[in-house]
Amino acid sequence: MTLAELIIASAILSMIVVTMAMLAQAVQQNSDYGDGHGEAAQHARVTLGRICRNVNEASANASFPGLLVLSTQVGNWQFPDTLVVWHPQRTAANPQGLPGAPAGLPLFQELVIYCPQPGSPNNLLEITDPGDTRTVPAWNDAADWSTELAAVIASKTASQTVLTDLLRTAVVSGTSNPAPRGMVRFVTRLEPTAAQWTSYQQAQLAWRNLSWAQSLYGATTGLRQVWLRIELQLVPGEASLPTDPTGNGAIPFFGSATLYYQMPRGST
> What's the confidence (pLDDT) of residue 215?
92
Q: Are 52 and 83 in contact (CB under 8 A)?
A: no
pLDDT lower than 70: segments of the chain: 1, 3, 5, 24-35, 96-103, 175, 177, 238-247, 267-268
> If 0-12 CB within 10 Å is exposed, 13-18 middle and 19+ buried, where does residue 263 land?
buried
Spatial distance between the Cα atoms of 54 and 112, rounded to a whole number of angstroms: 8
> What's the confidence (pLDDT) of residue 149?
93
Q: Is the pTM of this model over 0.75?
A: yes
Which residue blocks in the chain are alpha helix, DSSP H?
Answer: 3-56, 142-154, 194-201
> What's the confidence (pLDDT) of residue 22?
76
Cα–Cα distances in angstroms (integers) from residue 8 to residues 1, 3, 17, 19, 21, in the given order: 11, 9, 14, 17, 20
Q: How many CB atoms lie within 10 A of CB 103?
A: 18
Give ∠ CA 211-61-259 in degrees, rounded to 5: 65
> What's the confidence (pLDDT) of residue 101?
46
> What's the confidence (pLDDT) of residue 247?
65
Asked if residue 192 has a cis previous peptide bond (ω within 30° of 0), the answer is yes
> What's the confidence (pLDDT) of residue 104?
84
Q: How many CB atoms lie within 10 A of CB 42?
A: 14
Nearest to 104 by CA among 141, 142, 145, 64: 64
Beta strands in 133-220 (DSSP E): 159-164, 169-171, 180-182, 184-191
Are β-strands 184-191 and 67-74 bridged in parallel, bridged antiparallel, or unpaired? unpaired
> What's the confidence (pLDDT) of residue 34?
58
